[in-house]
Structure 1
Amino acid sequence: MLQLIDLHLHLPGTVRAHTLAELATKNGVELPMPADHLYPRINSDPTEEEKGKGPWFPLLRVYELISASLRTREDFSRVVYEALEDGLRNSNLCYAELAFSPSVHMQAGVEYKEMAAGISDGFARARETLGVDGRAIAAVNREDSGQVAVQLVETVIEHSNDDIVGIGLDFYELAGMPEKFAEAFHLAGEHKLYRTAHAGEHAPTAETVATAIDLLGCDRIDHGYQILRDPKIVERCAELGTVFNVAFTTSRRALIQWRKDSVAAMVEAGLRISINSDDPALFPTTLRREMDLASEVVPGKTEAWFVSNSIDAAFISDVDKRRLRNRVLGG
């Protein structure tokens, strides 16, 4: 079975229910119900029929509870290791990039250097015991101000870490459009940090994709489905070879047909995409399941094509990309 790569994986979205239960108890976080009951009730947009069967909890509310439960270096190390362990067991994962939101934890009193050290510990243990490699992306919370984003990037630069290699832009797209974070992303680029952003996911325009590339200097795009609204931007991204990190099972308990149709149209239009799991513990899904869906949605492309795109888009050096390609695809 082909080894897989996951480039769009949110750390809170990988936390096992029983791990959340233990960490919440340890760190004094009160959950609204037991974690194994909470996870199946993540539903940001319940139907009229479902509304009477609540309570339901928006994804970002559960993110907040999970983030509040991560307090120590050991907590971060544990969840990083478990994310890679689950990826290996469920999907034959060999490499992943985990996004985390430092400002959320910092506001709760966690020092950046503690979370960074824990993340590195988790990666080191996974490399040694699982043979799975990874890197981390410090994501800007788009609900923060532009100045807070700059401060975050400054903190990442000050506490340079070989495992934290890039800057992202996460959470609900309409809460903070990309131009708000231009200064932060420019600073990241000056210090050779890779850059990515959620764009073209919620905002009904292709312009956010163009802005993320042109103004923020993003090396790749997370999601990006709304790019289909502008054929000229589609054509330009196809010429650039921009990789879009897509996932089918996101933000709802059920698959969205529109998402599947959009991914198929993106590939048909000549865009490069990688397949990812996003929040596999919360919906639930696995990278293997997402890849199987991709084979159904885009039957003309092989798994090797998707994985090759992932390797090209990975936030690692060209030397490491060659090594990864040799390991996974044989050259």
Structure 2
Amino acid sequence: MTTVSPALLCALPKAELHIHIEGSLEPELIFALAQRNGVALPYDSVEALRAAYAFTDLQSFLDIYYAGASVLLKEQDFFDMAMAYFERAAQDNVVHAELFFDPQTHTERGVPIGVVIEGLTRARREAQARWGISSALILCFLRHLSQASAFETLEAALPWRDHFIGVGLDSSELGHPPEKFAEVFARCRELGLHVVAHAGEEGPPAYIWSALEVLKVERIDHGVRAIEDAALMQRLAAERVPLTVCPLSNVKLCVYPHMSQHQLPALLAAGLACTINSDDPAYFGGTMNANWLATFEALPQLGLAEARKLALNSFEASFVDEATKAGWRRKLEEVLAIGVEVVNGTKPG
């Protein structure tokens, strides 16, 4: 096995396919937006807010996540939040990002869905111009709410249909199986939208089966508990169904007690199309490169071959055209060639 240096991991071009844009909202920006919008927060300082990021499970995280989102009221707020993410992503050599956004989190507070989408879209265009990062939006339904609410959200979003490429399913997993949203996902498929869903993080492998068979998703977000079901593992590998794995999130939310116990190496060895992503980076301890570095540091069985595979998987799993993917693959091979030469001492400088 060829080891991979931290510098090379950071330099690799990569696509991020599991990023909740509201979960990228850092405490400093939360306080700045709260002040700008006159929103009172239940914390008296940035430090106090950050200290509250001691989660015991998914629900304890979601409680503070929704409190943080309360400062997002105007189009400029969504633009500023997304631009802060894109700036960090550019530093991490993210070439493409497919952003999850949760309109129900905002419409329930009286924020029009157009305000959300227009602010995020303006940031996407600016990021493309400034850093060359391509991106797309995926509208997520909150699974703790009803399917009727999801239908209402979909209909409200349709005037901006050309601004988002797909739909997802997130929020509290336990007690809210994918089949709860069978009809609205069928409608989304009829509209030509891509469909993805969170499954198999806190929920059991059965939720992954349901996401595949009932919702007919193209990607599984998280999916790490597939390791508990051999038949499911075989299907995911045979059909090349991508898993958008979020290592630091899995540890922060106690899916694994420690990164050294993460099952990513076993999933990769079984032929699954895993990718590395940051999930909610402001809350879970790091952006893309932080996730890559923490994963490879704690799991020494991962080497250069796995790093290359993970990056290639991220391109393969993205919802972009083949010509664009081919360009990213060429860029990856160039970076890998230079990086290996440097490590081996065969490249000057």
- The TM-score with structure 1 as length reference comes to 0.89
> Does the aligned pair in 2 maintain the 1:248–1:256 contact within 8 Å?
no
Which structure 2 residue ranges, 5 or more long, are not aligned?
Answer: 1-10, 336-349
SS in 2 for 1:58: helix
The aligned counterpart of 1:53 is: none
1:96 counterpart = 2:97: yes
Q: Which residue of 1 aligns with 2:53?
A: 42
Output the CA distance in 2 between the equivalents of 1:106 and 1:158.
Answer: 15
Deviation at 1:14, TM superposition (A): 0.9
Q: Deviations over 1:174-203 (max 9, x none)?
A: 142100001111111111111111101112
Distance 1:44 1:157 in 2: 35
Partners of 1:23 and 1:175 in 2: CA distance: 34
Contact kept in structure 2, 1:42 and 1:58, CA below 8 Å: no
Q: 1:13 maps to what in 2? A: 23
| RMSD of aligned residue pairs (Cα, Å) | 2.2
Equivalent position amino acid for 1:95 in 2: H
CA contact (8 A) 1:138 1:167 kept: yes
Alignment-derived partner of residue 304 in structure 1? 308
Pair 71,140 (structure 1): closer, same or farther in 2 beyond 3 Å: same
Matches within 5 A, 1:1-331: 1-33=11-43, 34-45=45-56, 58-89=60-91, 91-162=92-163, 164-203=164-203, 205-250=204-249, 252=252, 256-257=257-258, 260-296=261-297, 297=299, 298-300=301-303, 301-329=305-333
Which 10-residue stretch deviates more, 206-215 or 35-44?
Answer: 35-44
Note the C-alpha offset of 1:85: 0.3
Distance 2:93 2:259 in 1: 28
Q: How many angstroms apart in 2 are the aligned matches of 1:310 and 1:282?
A: 22
Q: Would the alpha carbon gap of residues 218 and 259 (structure 1) be closer, same or farther in structure 2, given more than 3 Å must change?
A: farther
**Conserved 8 A contact 2:16-2:97:** yes
Q: CA deviation at 1:110?
A: 0.9
Percent of aligned pairs sharing the same letter: 28
TM-score normalized with structure 2 length: 0.85
Instruction: Tell me the CA shift for residue 327 of structure 1.
Output: 4.2
Amino acid in the other structure paired with 1:78: D
The amino acid of 1:67's aligned partner reads A
> Match of 2:213, as an amino acid?
D
Tell which deviates more after alignment, 257-266 or 136-145.
Answer: 257-266
Q: Name the counterpart of 2:338.
A: none
Between the aligned partners of 1:236 and 1:248, the Cα distance in structure 2 is 22
For residues 209-236 of structure 1, give each alpha carbon's deviation from its aligned partner in whole angstroms, at most 9, with x where no partner exists.
Answer: 1111111111111111111221111111
- Cα pair 2:79 2:120 within 8 Å, conserved: yes
Residue type of the partner of 1:221? I
Change (3 A) 1:42 1:143: same
- Which letter does structure 2 place at the counterpart of 1:187? R
**Residue deviations 1:263-312 (CA, integer Å, cap 9, x gap):** 22212222120011112122321211221234343525332211111111
Contact 2:139 2:168 survives alignment (8 Å): yes
Q: Judge conservation of contact 2:14–2:96 (CA < 8 Å) in 1.
A: yes
Cα contact 1:40–1:282 (8 A) shared by 2: no
The answer to which of 253-262 and 60-69 deviates more is: 253-262
Q: Does the residue aligned with 2:283 lie in a helix, a strand or coil?
A: coil
**Residue 258 of structure 1, CA deviation:** 7.0
- Evaluate the alpha carbon distance shift between residue 261 and residue 139 of structure 1 in structure 2; reply closer, same or farther with a 3 A threshold: same
Contact 2:247 2:262 in 1 (8 A): no
* 1:157, distance to aligned residue in structure 2 (A): 2.7
Q: Secondary structure at the match of 1:227?
A: helix
Q: Distance in 2 between matches of 1:132 and 1:161?
A: 19
Cα deviation digits, residues 146-198 of structure 1 (max 9, x gap) = 11112222233332133x21111111211421000011111111111111111
Aligned to 2:7: none
The structure whose RCO (Cα within 8 Å, separation 6+) is larger is 2
1:21-60 deviation digits (Å, cap 9, x = unpaired): 01112223222212332123212229xxxxxxxxxx9321
Q: Displacement, 1:259?
A: 7.9
In the alignment, structure 1 segments of 5+ residues that lack a partner are: 47-56
Contact kept in structure 2, 1:7 and 1:310, CA below 8 Å: yes
Q: Structure 1: how far apart are the matches of 2:103 and 2:95?
A: 25
Paired amino acid for 2:223: G
